[in-house]
Amino acid sequence: MAETPARRQPRFQQITVMLLMTAFQLVCAACVLCRQETLQLSMVYLLVGYIAAEWIYLLIGNLVTGNDYFELEAIAFFLSGLGLTLCASFSEAFAFKQLVAIGLGLAVYLLILLLIKNMYVVRWLRYPAAIGSIGVLALNLLLAQVHNGALNWIDLGPVSIQPSELVKVVFIFVGAVTLEKLLSTKALWLYIGYALVCVSCLFLMRDFGTALIFFFTFILIAFMRSGNVRTLFLICAVALMGAMLVIYFKPYVANRFAAFRHVWEYADTLGYQQTRVLTYSASGGLCGLGLGEGYLRDVYAVTTDLIFGLINEELGIFMGVAVVLSFVGIAFFAVKTAKSAGSTFYAIAAVAAAGMLLFQMSLNVFGVTDLLPLTGVTLPFVSRGGSSMICSWGLLAYIRAAGAPFVPPRPDIAVNKRLRRPAKGGGAT
């Protein structure tokens, strides 16, 4: 069995995955279309167009790069498609906006891949990126629209954007490039200063959840570069004290914690969203009640913050678990690529991006299920919203960039066994 000569990982596996995903998405599309009172062709174009776009991306990508490995994109397409389906089950307007968002996300993804291919460009970009991102946040503070008690939206007429989402992508970029080359104290201080300004801006915007994500990512990047656990503990301790002060002085933050782990006692006030998510998640069972059959969809912010509950109720716990595991898959991929990355920049960026996605997913999923305090952040790729979608795909680019060109694992296990100790990784160092 193991004596067959070593060959490339069979291509049909990718095709199988794509075919299965297409089948799933077609079923989802059928569910959406069947629920419409009169069949709208535009909705058909929209949903079938998305599936077609996946295939076009795959085929062009294959032809241009000769790369067969699209598991990362496949996961992102799966999650985005799920979000699109849920949006479509609400209204065509939602679906159209979401499709545009996915398209923009994909464009940003490709743009970032292109930009960071060249390390000269990367280094040249760091100051403009850092200054630009702070500028955007400052502008945001000036023009902020109050939204859910947070001031993190800029309203531009037909669309509103959430600058903090876009800054997330830049934040990792700046961090990875600043700390890439050498561990100079100056570089570290510069980055700490930059991180401090970003987090402070978010606090001023009252976007507590995003501030937490930034802080977490900062710690992750600092660890990747320094590896000094003691220093990080110190940072965490200082931050914890700061956070406690914030909670003490800002009742709206303290409120979020008051109901934590006691949501059923506050079922109609602070625990409203969590209790609804739990109730309807349980109602859905393993396989869900069917698209559009749920009642969570009548609860405020269901397509953004509470989308995990909607997935559980209408598509089933299985699907909810699949969503969480998708993010775990992305993270596994990131570690793998980071180990074979061509430079420290790519490794740090990939790990930081994976960590950020995983952390934000955890804040969302475990926030609405009352395992963590509710912070009101979106579920990357799935939640409705353009800024969030663009950010998610942007982060994905760092993970892909680290792995390109991807070296497939040696398929011939028997050879490795005979060698006992194979040459590790084979990646460039």
Partner 1 sequence: MKITAKRAAVIYGLIALVLAGLTVFLVSLVRHGDSWAGSRFNRHIYSGGAIVNAGTIRDVNAVILAETKNGKRVFADGANTRRATLHVVGDTAGYISTGTHYLYRDALSGYSIAGGVYKLKRSGTGTDITLNIDSAACRVAYEALGDYNGAVAVYNYKTGQLLCSVSKPTFDPQNRPKDLLTNEKYEGVFLDKVLSGIYTPGSLMKIVTAACAIENMPDIYSRTFECDGEYETGDGTVICNGVHGKVSFQEAMNESCNCAFAQISIELGASKLLATAESLGFNKQLTAKEIRLAKSRFSPSKTSKSELGWAGIGQSTTYLNPAHMLAIIGAVANGGVGYAPDRIRAAGAISEMVGRVPEPLVKMNPSTAAQLQKLLRSNVADQYGESKFPGLEMCGKTGTAQIDGETSHSWFAGYSQRDDLPLAVVVIAEHAGSGMRTASAVANTVMQYFAGN
CB 399 to partner 1: min, Å: 11
CB 351 to partner 1: min, Å: 5
Q: Do the beta carbons of residue 395 and residue 172 sit within 8 Å?
A: yes
Tokens representing 241 are 């004290």
DSSP H helices, 179-287, are: 185-204, 208-226, 229-249, 251-258, 272-284
Question: Is 289 a residue that touches partner 1 (CB under 8 A)?
Answer: yes
Amino acid at 329: G
Tokens representing 179 are 């700390």
Question: Is 279 a residue that touches partner 1 (CB under 8 A)?
Answer: yes
CB 348 to partner 1: min, Å: 7
Q: Do the beta carbons of residue 402 and residue 346 sit within 8 Å?
A: yes
Pick one of 148, 295, 407, 415: the residue that binds partner 1 (CB under 8 A): 295
The region that residue 103 occupies, defined by phi over 0 for left and psi between -120 and 50 for alpha, beta otherwise, is: alpha
Coil vs helix vs strand at 11: coil
DSSP3 helix / strand / coil % (the chain, rounded to 5): 70, 5, 25
Question: Is 71 a residue that touches partner 1 (CB under 8 A)?
Answer: no
Question: Is 293 a residue that touches partner 1 (CB under 8 A)?
Answer: yes
Q: Which is nearer to partner 1, 203 or 318 (CB)?
A: 318
Pick one of 304, 369, 387, 388: the residue that binds partner 1 (CB under 8 A): 369
Q: Which is nearer to partner 1, 98 or 312 (CB)?
A: 312
CB 105 to partner 1: min, Å: 23
Question: Is 177 a residue that touches partner 1 (CB under 8 A)?
Answer: no
CB 108 to partner 1: min, Å: 23
Binding mask 187-226 for partner 1 (x = CB under 8 A): ---------------------------------x--xxx-
CB 232 to partner 1: min, Å: 11
Coil vs helix vs strand at 209: helix
Q: Which helix (H) or strand (E) holds 305?
A: none
Of 370-399, binders to partner 1 (CB under 8 A) are 371-372
* Overall residue count recorded for the chain in this entry: 429
Read off φ and ψ for residue 156, nearest 5 degrees.
Answer: -115, 50
Segment contacting partner 1 (CB under 8 A): 95-103, 111-119, 185-193, 284-292? 284-292
CB 45 to partner 1: min, Å: 31
Question: Is 362 a residue that touches partner 1 (CB under 8 A)?
Answer: yes
Q: Do the beta carbons of residue 77 and residue 54 sit within 8 Å?
A: yes
Question: Is 260 a residue that touches partner 1 (CB under 8 A)?
Answer: no
CB 102 to partner 1: min, Å: 24
Coil vs helix vs strand at 146: strand
In the numeric block, the tokens 């079922």 are attached to 267
In the numeric block, the tokens 């269901």 are attached to 302
Pick one of 110, 188, 258, 317: the residue that binds partner 1 (CB under 8 A): 317
Question: Is 331 a residue that touches partner 1 (CB under 8 A)?
Answer: yes
Q: What is the DSSP string of 371-421?
A: SS-------TTTSS-HHHHHHHHHHHHHHHHHHSSP-PPP--HHHHHHHSS
Burial class (CB in 10 A: 0-12, 13-18, 19+), 401: buried
Pick one of 136, 253, 338, 396: the residue that binds partner 1 (CB under 8 A): 338
- Torsion angle of alpha carbons 318, 323, 329, 334, nearest 10°? -170
Which of 102, 106, 137, 316 lies closest to 211 in space, CA to CA? 137
| Count of residues that bind partner 1 according to CB under 8 A | 58
Segment contacting partner 1 (CB under 8 A): 125-133, 192-200, 204-212, 362-370? 362-370
Binding stretches for partner 1 (CB under 8 A) = 220, 223-225, 227, 264, 267-268, 275-276, 278-289, 293, 295, 298, 313, 317, 321, 324, 327-328, 331-332, 334-335, 338-341, 343-344, 347-348, 350-351, 354-355, 358-359, 361-362, 365-366, 369, 371-372, 425, 429
